[in-house]
């Protein structure tokens, strides 16, 4: 078998596995371009919480399963661990301001944001209007992995809409 040789990419320093510089690791992780979601849940009082997440991904078609991960020291960690449901809105290319809003420290992230809300008696978390995909999920597992909590959800319902995605690459938003 031919030997595999590492090639130096100009401008990218080679980092040895045991001496990770956190910034180099972040830059390498961030080289994997993703879409951007807002993940929502209801707290114990029934009030919505939501946050921007690009760790979202599909796991399985049958059964339909998705996953995402949340920093353990996030203020929202206790709410998402307690919640039995979560909902995912995949943002459209013109929704960068919402991505920034749901990652910011504003007092009420939902203020002025157009949401799709469930009818009374339905405990589905609200979704972001005009997103290109919506997932309503029932949490089936959460696992503490490193400094994140990995959530696995069974998809209860989905809908998609036309439109280009908002993308995130090396800490920058881009229109897809
Ligand atoms: C594009 C983007 C993607 C993000 N993805 C995640 C993620 O997958 N998991 C996570 O824990 N935080 C992620 N964050 C950060 C959270 O949105 C942010 O820390 C959170 O909303 C802040 O809530 P806090 O009150 O707990 O600090 C992301 C931020 C941005 C801008």
In contact, 113 and 131? CB cutoff 8 Å? no
Atom of ligand 1 nearest to the CA of 77: 26
Does the C-beta of 90 come closer than 6 Å to ligand 1? Answer: no
DSSP strands (E only) in 5-47: 34-35, 37-42
Q: CATH assignment of 35-165?
A: 2.30.110.10
Which tokens sit at 9?
């990419």
pLDDT tens-digit readout, 139-162: 999 999 999 999 999 999 999 999
**Nearest Cα residue to atom 10 of ligand 1:** 70
Q: Where are the domains of the chain?
A: 35-165
Distance 167 CA to ligand 1 centre (A): 15
**Nearest Cα residue to atom 5 of ligand 1:** 53
Q: How many CA atoms lie within 13 A of 102 on its CB side?
A: 26
pLDDT tens-digit readout, 17-53: 566 788 999 999 999 999 999 999 999 999 999 999 9
* % pLDDT > 90, the chain: 85
* pTM score: 0.91
Atom of ligand 1 nearest to the CA of 74: 26
């Amino acid at each position: 078998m031919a030997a595999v040789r590492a090639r130096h990419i100009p401008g990218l320093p080679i980092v040895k596995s045991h001496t990770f510089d956190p910034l180099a690791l972040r830059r390498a992780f961030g080289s994997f371009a993703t879409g951007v979601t807002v993940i929502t849940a209801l707290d114990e009082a029934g009030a919505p919480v939501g946050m921007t997440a690009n760790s979202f991904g599909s796991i399985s078609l049958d059964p339909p399963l998705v996953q995402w991960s949340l920093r353990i020291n996030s203020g929202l960690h206790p709410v998402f661990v307690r919640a039995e449901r979560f909902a995912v809105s995949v943002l459209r290319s013109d929704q960068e301001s919402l991505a920034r809003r749901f990652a910011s420290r504003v007092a009420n992230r939902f203020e002025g944001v157009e949401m799709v809300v469930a009818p009374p008696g339905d405990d589905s978390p609200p979704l972001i209007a005009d997103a290109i995909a919506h997932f309503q999920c029932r949490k089936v597992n959460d696992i503490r992995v490193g400094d994140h909590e990995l959530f696995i959800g069974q998809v209860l319902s989905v809908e998609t809409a036309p439109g280009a995605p908002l993308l995130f690459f090396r800490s920058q938003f881009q229109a897809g």
